[in-house]
Amino acid sequence: MAKILFDSKFLHQLNSLKLVSKRAKKIFSQGERRGGKAGSGLEFIDYREYQVGDDYRYIDWHLYSRLEQLFVKLFRQEENLTVHLIIDESESMSSGDPSKIDYACQLAAVLGYIALVNLDEVGSSTFSSQLEKTLPPRRGRSQIFNLFHFLEGINTQGKTNFSFCLSEFSRRQRKGGMAVVLSDLFDPKGYEEGLISLRSQGWEVCLLHILQENELRPMERGEVVLIDKETQQRIETIIDEVTCQRYEQELRDFFQKVESFCQHYEINYLRVLTSLPLTSFIFQDLRKRQILK
Amino acid sequence: MTVLNPSALYLLLLLGVILFFYLLKGRPRKVIVSSTLFWRRIRRSLPAQRIHWRLPPELLLFLQIALLTLLIMAMAQFLFSRKERKEFMVIVMDTTASMQATDLIPNRLAMAKKRAQEFIEELPENTQLALVQADKRPQLIANFSDERSYLLKGLKALTPADVRGNETAALELASSILPAQTRGRVIFFTDGAFELDIDYLPQNVEFITLNKKNSRNLAITSFELRPRTEDSKRYELLVKVTNFSWQKERFSLRLWLGQNLIFKSELVVSSQEEKEYIHNLEVDKKTILKAEISPYPQDDLILDNTAYALPGFSERLNVLLVSKGNLFLRTALESYPQVNFYQKQIVLPGELSYYDLIIFDNIIPPPLERGNIVCLGVLPPNLSLKEQDPQPNSILTEWEIDHPLLRFVNLENMNVRQSLGIETLPGADILLMSSAGPLMQVWQKGGLRLLFIGFDLYYSDFPLQIGFPVFIFNLLQWFHPQVFDPTYSQIQTGEEFVIFPKAKKEEITIVNPHNEIITIENPKDPLIFSETRIAGVYTIDGKSLFTANLLSAHESNLLSRVTFASTSREVNRQVKNEYSESKLSLSPLLILLSCLLLLVEWYLYHFPRAIGKRRSKSSKRTA
């Protein structure tokens, strides 16, 4: 069970941040987010000639008095962004100190908090072999506690079925928004289908690849039996320098593949190590990648 | 296949150490990882890392076990027989009196047996071994066999005898039983306390001597008793004591007659000196005379510190002369106080057993079955010999001067005017031969001892010869040595003792000095008793029969006179070397194999991937 503990100073710092969504399909409901289109917001953006059917309330009568033509004021549409935090809670996420799941939960909490502070709707889902739990998207500060409570209740379990779960998610959640996927991507069946499915449903996807230090470079040496945490599959091998080099090469290839995939599908991909302080990741890396501003 | 050094095989226990270390060797550590996704890919890309393609540790273990086994086999000296050839060896064990010497603890024989056992156990397996016991009468204890337990059992059963050895005979026996056309060997475990004639020493004899150079021994080397001529009850006793030590010895000499101490004296004798003591004594009846010396301190051989004798005649002989009258014989026989003389002209068969000696002088005897008989000029009717015509003027051609009957009897000037012309009795010993045939024959069968003289005393000048009374004495002594020979009842240990039972008996029971009862069923007449290996007094029917003493200066001299002895280790090494020459030693081959295995193990340990790559290639080809 992840512990979500933030001090007030940190939360105060988070208040100044905002999630940046560029491509997400937004809900045209009243929100705090300035939309790109004209709508029923408060911010004036332009005039246009009155057309039949326009709301009389938006006719600028001062302008009519000067020009004797009817012009309607246009306001920027205030949009509502739904941020969905999709967390991988498979067994593989439980490794490391701090564990990847703890790190993912804390990161999700931070992102959720930032979104809720900015009056976005925030929901969350967990998955392993299937979609496990879902916190429906809500807005408002009360959702913060719901979110924290939800995140604290996450326990690692089962195998990863990344693509199936994300496909299932995209089928269920059709309204789109910003999907922040926190996972270690350790799924032999691959991750591509799930992400494509999300993108096809109009979700702006931010993929946060969470890893731990010794997954980048194995610390063990000698003859070992490697036991897969999820599948309990055993592999007897000898880890030496050559093996390590091969492993790192394999990992680099994998990262490269993920990066090129995400670039192709306009997915924000960011890799994070659990050894990296959360504040550093939030205030530097996420801002640098313009996920937060 | 033979193992020269089987003790090296104990090193095989080291295999357990290797296995133990393999058991100690940690199994692969279990490491729980988030995912084995990349490891699986790596394993596919690194064939040598595949666990099934890797060199399994069991192969290294196998190589190490094989390496150690080969090295141990090389040390054990495995020999491969090019051609099966048996080695023959005779172990001769000296069990004479000197082997009882306690200069080696517990004694020389026990030490020799121990050394012999070690020697036997180290010999090559297929050596055919025989065991000969060397004492007065050497005997084969165990015939050739490669079964060690059989030989060791015989070796263990060997006991020392109080006898002087006949080493030359023992070595000849050992040498003679070696199969012809084989290179046999005789190993003599002895103390070397004997005189050996090197000229008669068989070849291939190795001496392994066990003794101490500074052994001490004081011995009675002579104990002789002779009756005084003036009185048959008085005796003159000679005791000779020899000091075989390298130092002056002090001792006490005691003489016991029965239970009575008749003489005691404290004496000193120098090194290698012998001293004689003569003592006169008077003996009424047959009594045990014992001489005893007690050195200060006790010497290394106790056996020769005591000697026994049986002085005193108790028996009288009933001698019957069946004759019409013979002055010569009568006069001669009556002159002996031990003789009860009888004369008759006719004797009935039932009376024969009453007399100890019957002389038929020209009177045909009845059929004879047992007894001591002398026939003068006649033949017993039951001998079925053809009697020829009397032969005149027989000329003596030869006579047995070594026979006890003719000892000191000079027949050179004897003339026989007429003799019986008879042929030789079957199985008889001819003592006197003439041109007309045998004149004097001795014939023994069952209980019958017959002296046949083929002429009438009156038809010869034999009674007038100086040798005639000597002959009569010899005759009495030969028929009844227990009465007429003062040394009859005193023998050297190991010698045979002849017993002349008066009547036919079903069995004779003799008690030896160790109070062991020896029963002889259906004894022959005379009985030759040979179980006299123990010194002391032997009794029969509760009466002292004879005494057996060592009385041997050769045997009592405990110092080794064998100057060319070897040690058992030297001989064993020599045997093994000879044995190895006939065998193909596998040691060089085994060492070479070991080196190869070592190389293979080194290669496999340091380049395990080579095997993996090769296997990988081969599997690809297969695919």
CB distance from B51 to chain A under 8 Å?
Answer: yes
Q: How far is CA A273 from CA A209, A278, A279, B361, B411, in A?
A: 8, 10, 13, 145, 139
- Mutate one of B22, B42, B607 to test the A interface: name it (highest A CB count within 10 A): B42
Nearest by CB to A230, from B35, B42, B49: name it.
B35
The token duo for B63 is: 């190589």
Q: Name the residue facing A224 among B29, B38, B46 (closest C-beta).
A: B29
CB-based contact, A223 to chain B, within 8 Å: yes
pLDDT of residue B196 exceeding 50, the answer is yes
Mean pLDDT over the full length of chain A: 83
- The answer to which of A52-61, A69-78, B497-506, B596-605 has the lowest mean pLDDT is B497-506
Residue range B191-203: mean pLDDT, rounded? 78
**Contact: A227, B51; criterion CB under 8 Å:** no
Do residue A227 and residue B28 have CB atoms under 8 angstroms apart? no
Mean pLDDT, rounded, for B605-619: 53
Question: Inter-chain contact B51–A236, Cβ cutoff 8 Å?
Answer: yes
- C-alpha dist (Å) from residue A126 to A151, A185, B614: 9, 14, 48
**Residue B540 CB coordination number (10 Å):** 16
Whole-angstrom CA distances from B346 to A164, B354, B379, B449 are 148, 14, 16, 20
Q: Please tell me the predicted confidence (pLDDT) of residue B401.
A: 86
Residue among A237, A250, A254 whose CB faces B49 most closely = A237
Whether the pLDDT of residue A46 is over 80: the answer is yes
CA-based nearest residue to B494, from B558, B553, B552, B559: B552
pLDDT of residue B313: 63
**What digits encode the pLDDT tens for the residues A225-234?**
888 888 888 8
- Give the gap in angstroms from C-alpha A40 to the nearest C-alpha of chain B: 50
B230 has a pLDDT exceeding 50: yes
Note whether B43 contacts A235, CB cutoff 8 Å.
yes
pLDDT tier at B618, thresholds 50, 70, 90: very low
Average pLDDT over residues B485-507: 81
The winner for highest mean pLDDT among B40-54, B413-427, B560-574 is B413-427
Chain B residues whose beta carbon lies within 8 Å of the beta carbon of residue A254: 38
Distance separating the N- and C-terminal Cα atoms of chain B: 48
Going by C-alpha positions, the residue among B174, B102, B97, B162 that lies closest to residue B133 is: B174
Per CB-CB distance under 8 Å, the chain A contacts of B35 are 92, 184, 186, 228-230
Q: Examine the pLDDT at B617 and tell me if it is beyond 70.
A: no
Distance CA B264, CA B257 (A): 12
**pLDDT confidence of residue B583:** 66
More confident residue, B388 or A74: A74
3-state secondary structure B369-382: CCEEEEEECCCCHH
Cβ–Cβ under 8 Å, residues B551 and B220: yes
Query: Which stretch, A249-263, B386-400, B413-427, B582-596, has highest mean pLDDT?
Result: A249-263
Structure tokens at B12: 């095989």
Tell me the ipTM for this assembly: 0.79
Mean pLDDT of chain B: 83
What average pLDDT score do residues B437-459 get? 87
| Amino acid B540: pLDDT | 85
- Residues of chain B in contact with residue A242, where contact means CB-CB under 8 angstroms, are 46
pLDDT of residue B361: 92
Q: For chain B, what is the radius of gyration of the CA atoms?
A: 39
Shortest alpha-carbon distance between residue A43 and chain B (Å): 50
CB A228 within 8 A of CB A237: no
Higher-confidence residue of B610 and B419: namely: B419
The answer to whether residue A51 neighbours chain B at the CB level (below 8 Å) is: no
Residue in A with minimal Cα distance to B49: A237
Per-residue pLDDT at A255 = 92
Nearest to A229 among B28, B34, B45 (CB): B34
How many Cβ contacts (< 8 angstroms) between chains A and B?
84
pLDDT tier, A144 (very low <50, low <70, confident <90, very high otherwise): confident
Beta-carbon separation of A188 and B38 below 8 A:
no
Q: For chain B, what percent of residues have pLDDT higher than 90?
A: 20
Under DSSP, the state recorded for B241 is E
Chain B partners within 8 Å of A88 (Cβ): none
Q: What is the largest CA-CA distance in chain A?
A: 89
Is it the case that residue B350 has pLDDT exceeding 70? yes
Contact status, residue A151 vs residue A122, Cβ threshold 8 Å: no
Q: Per residue, what are the HEC states of B161-195?
A: CCCCCCHHHHHHHHHHHCCCCCCCEEEEEECCCCC
Q: Which of B27, B34, B45 to mutate to test the interface with A (most CBs of A within 10 A)?
A: B34
Instruction: Give pLDDT, residue A252.
Output: 92
| B598 pLDDT above the threshold of 50 | yes
The predicted pLDDT at position B251 comes to 93
Structure tokens at A180: 């922040």
> Measured between CB atoms, which of A96, A230, A243 is closest to B42?
A243
Residue A210 has pLDDT above 80, yes or no: yes
Q: How confident is the model at residue B88 (pLDDT cuts 50, 70, 90)?
A: confident
Q: Which amino acid is located at B487 in the chain? A: T
Report d(CA A256, CA A269) in Å as an integer: 11
pTM, two decimals, is 0.52
- Report the alpha-carbon distance of residue B491 to residue B501 in Å, rounded: 19
H or E element in which residue B148 lies: helix B148-156
pLDDT over threshold 70, residue B331: yes
How many helices and strands (H and E) does chain A possess? 10, 10
- Phi-psi sector, A202: left (phi>0), alpha (psi -120 to 50), beta: left
pLDDT over threshold 60, residue A96 = yes
* Residues B292 and B304 sit within 8 Å (Cβ to Cβ): no
pLDDT of residue B620: 42
Burial class (CB in 10 A: 0-12, 13-18, 19+), B545: middle
Closest CA to B453 of B436, B471, B432, B467: B432
pLDDT for the residue B536: 92
Strands A177-183 and A82-88: parallel
B30–A243 C-beta distance less than 8 A: no
B260 at interface of A, judged by CB pairs closer than 8 A: no
The whole-angstrom separation of Cα A247 and Cα A257 is 15
Q: Is the pLDDT of residue B623 over 50?
A: no
Lowest mean pLDDT among B21-25, B55-59, B353-357: B55-59
Higher pLDDT, B286 or A71: A71
> What is the distance of C-alpha B616 from the center of its chain?
78
Q: Is any Cβ of chain A less than 8 angstroms from the Cβ of B605? A: no
Contact assignment for B31 to A224 by CB distance below 8 Å: yes
**Averaged pLDDT for residues B263-270:** 91
For residues B51-73, average pLDDT: 74
Chain A partners within 8 Å of B36 (Cβ): 226-228, 231, 233, 235
CB contact B611 to A (< 8 Å): no
Q: Is B54 part of the contact surface with chain A (CB cutoff 8 Å)? A: yes
Q: Find, among B389, B397, B398, the residue nearest to B421 by Cα.
A: B389
Q: Name the range with the highest mean pLDDT among A14-18, B502-506, B534-538.
A: B534-538
Asked if A164 and A90 count as a contact pair (C-beta separation under 8 A), the reply is no
Is A238 in the B-facing interface, judged by CB distances under 8 Å? yes
Lowest mean pLDDT across B58-62, B91-95, B338-342: B58-62
The answer to whether B28 contacts A188, with C-beta atoms less than 8 Å apart, is: no
Give B317's pLDDT tier (boundaries 50, 70, 90).
Answer: confident
B37–A229 C-beta distance less than 8 A: no
Across the interface, of B36, B41, B51, the residue whose CB is closest to A228 is B36
Which of B31, B43, B49 has the CB atom closest to A227's CB atom? B31
Percent pLDDT > 70 in chain A is 90
